[in-house]
Structure 1
Amino acid sequence: MAEFTRYVAMGDSFTEGVGDPDPQRPGGLRGWSDLVAEQLASRTPEFRYANLAIRGRLLDAIVDEQLGPALDMAPDLVTIYAGGNDMMRPKFDVDRLVGRYDDAVAQLTATGATVLVWTAYDAGWSPVFGKLRGRNAVYNELVREVADRHGATLVDFWRFDEYDDHRMWDWDRLHMSSLGHRNMAARVLGVLGVEHALEPVSLGTLAPQPKSEARRENLVWAREFLLPWISRRVRGTSSGDGVTAKRPVLAPVG
């Protein structure tokens, strides 16, 4: 069973932990990567962890801002999830995007570290994000090629059917909920072949939602998430403006 001592997490809000609030933690967030780090730390006293992820970051910014610091830390485990924010932009050059991703993954795997990459989630059921299904599928095939080419380990989010349940998602329908983050942490540890103590997520049967309640939730979502999100796109701003990495250097967990 693999033992890791230096874990660096790279990416955007997915890895920062948005959707899993915890005011006692750096940045006020927990998230799947913190949970993974805690389980790994419980096995290895000298374990150290850094999380460079910042919400809203496009893939170019993730590579430009996070790759160098990650390499300098000489990790033996790296997770990198990038491209999700790019795919929601009107203009999207998937070949150029994945070309940069390919170069970053090549540099990371060349160090001998175990490198985990993700496919995008299949949100085909979503009236809004489902419209991106085609470009997500193309991106996923290219990411699979990147993983194969460089010996990276793939976390195939596209095939995680349990995320078809809305309880796995936060109120904004874009970020995972606390349950979703815990489930992702268990999935990652499973991919790594690491035994863990995380309780499995058990959702039970989902009760039918009255149409009136669904309409009310849709209106609240449109007002409080969708319209501000569109406004940021128009203004060229990001939810990550002014946000810094919550764990910028390798340090003990806790």
Structure 2
Amino acid sequence: MKVDHRRLAAASMAVAVSGALLAGCGPGALAGKARNAHSSESRSGSDERSQALSFQYVGDSGVDETINQVLVIKNVARDSLAPVLSFKALDKNDHVLPHVKVSTVFGSDRGDLVAPYGSSTDILRFSGPGEHDVADVRVTVRSTTKARFPAGLHEVTTQALDSHGRKIEKFERFSAVRLTNEDDIPVFVRIAYILWDQPPKGVTQQAVEVTAVGDLTPVPAHGTAVVKVSGKAAAAVARNSYGPAVSIKAYNSQ
């Protein structure tokens, strides 16, 4: 299998992808730079699907109330794709930070995230000595397959509900999540309940706890679905409710 290393080079810009970067995840977004991907190895034949993918790393968009440490995935294939990616963290001089582990919130490193035609996102997490020195990432496409379920062009939105089905703030202790699909096709999504840290100035905000709410959930075309909060998700909501920095994010999956 041919492996593609995509180096992400600096460009001064803020990135917004169909509202997917909007988090409401806490105060204090910091001025930052987006990173533009370019392929360092050409591929053909069996790698055709992988060639359809390109990436941007956005440590901080510089826009208030947006998620930090975002990987923007652009797919020019008409099929929805499920990539398996791996990452190396880089410092501001493009040197590899060998002790920093890179993982993801939505599972693009495990084949769990489905990337539709157009743009989608994952969220990166860094851990280990040097985690606060990450300025960029190098992405390796390990494999890419056609997704079992096609994804729509729009982000599936989430709304926290109380035990009576009424809308409440995501910072409160909610009992269910309503999913809304604007697209013309049914989609399958998972829900992540994310707790964010409160970093000092100059450090990007990071997901410190990620809990799945429910399982893989079908959402009908131009319709809604309600997922109850139970088990580990209920415990996480009880523990983190009324705090300053949480998000409820739905993502296309399989």
**TM-score, structure 2 as length reference:** 0.25
Which structure would you say has the larger RCO, counting Cα contacts within 8 Å and 6 or more residues apart?
A: 1
Q: Which has the higher strand share?
A: 2
More helix by share: 1
Q: TM-score when scaled to structure 1? A: 0.25
